């Protein structure tokens, strides 16, 4: 029994748990020892037994510690431009910040170097123009997601495969972009005419995303004459 308590103390010394406790239980068991010799036991042989102690534990949550941590988590705003403390008290500023989750999710693509590379804008007017371009891109990005989700909301419409090929009826715009990112469009300019076509047929999933977006696969193929300005 003493060894069991020593084992509990040794195990607890390795644990660094701020939000949990372990309720230990020591069970005493008397079990028969296995015979070392083969065959049937001889007449008069006494069967050997040994007593062992088995540990089992139950994980308990420290409700007070968890609640205190949740109350402290995310309860501050580091920087804000809302300087009027009477009009915008601390609680209102925090509520407005917490409500920006959907907006910040949309602007994730700005941080992706594969989409937007690093460049320098020397004039304030150019920086403002870039802001409008990004805002319009975010609007289109959001409307695309909304249109596909509305199309998938139809009763008999089957889900598409989004990220990690998981079926979904509520894909994000990022998931839609990922599905279509594998499409390669080729083009050729000859005698003042441009021709575009797909390097390979669309997959069924890609075709569905295009159609749910309100288009057909024909947007990836066509031929038209080029003006002097477009050729330059």
In the block, residue with structure tokens 């968890």: 66
For 57-89, how does the pLDDT look when each residue is reduced to its tens digit (9 = 90+)?
Answer: 888 999 998 888 877 776 777 788 888 989 999
| Token couple for 231 | 């050729």
Query: Phi then psi for 159, rounded to 5 degrees?
Result: -70, 160
- CA-wise closest residue to 138 among 108, 116, 96, 99: 108
For 154-166, how does the pLDDT look when each residue is reduced to its tens digit (9 = 90+)?
Answer: 989 999 999 888 9
Buried residues in 183-204 as b, exposed as e (16+ CB within 10 A) = beeeeeeeeeeeeeeeeeebee
**Quick one: average pLDDT of 27-56?**
80
* Higher-confidence position of 108 and 176: 176
């Amino acid at each position: 029994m003493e060894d069991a308590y020593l084992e509990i103390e040794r195990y607890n010394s390795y644990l660094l748990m701020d939000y949990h406790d372990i309720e230990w239980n020591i069970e005493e068991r008397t079990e028969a020892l296995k015979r070392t010799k083969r065959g049937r036991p001889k007449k008069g042989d006494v069967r050997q037994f040994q007593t062992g102690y088995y540990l089992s534990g139950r994980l308990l949550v420290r409700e007070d510690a968890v609640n205190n941590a949740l109350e402290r988590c995310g309860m501050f705003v580091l920087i804000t431009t809302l300087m009027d403390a009477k009009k915008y008290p601390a609680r209102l500023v925090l509520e407005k910040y917490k409500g920006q989750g959907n907006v910040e999710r949309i602007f994730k693509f700005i941080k992706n170097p594969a989409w937007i590379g690093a460049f320098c804008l020397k004039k304030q007017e150019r920086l403002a123009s870039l802001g409008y371009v990004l805002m319009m891109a975010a609007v289109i990005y959001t409307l695309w997601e909304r249109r596909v989700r509305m199309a998938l909301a139809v009763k008999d419409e089957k889900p598409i495969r989004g990220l990690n090929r998981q079926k979904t009826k509520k894909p994000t715009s990022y998931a839609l972009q990922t599905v279509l990112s594998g499409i390669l469009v080729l083009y050729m300019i000859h005698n003042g005419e441009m021709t575009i076509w797909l390097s390979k047929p669309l997959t069924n999933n890609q075709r569905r995303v295009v159609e749910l977006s309100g288009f057909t696969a024909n947007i990836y193929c066509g031929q038209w004459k080029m003006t002097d300005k477009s050729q330059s």
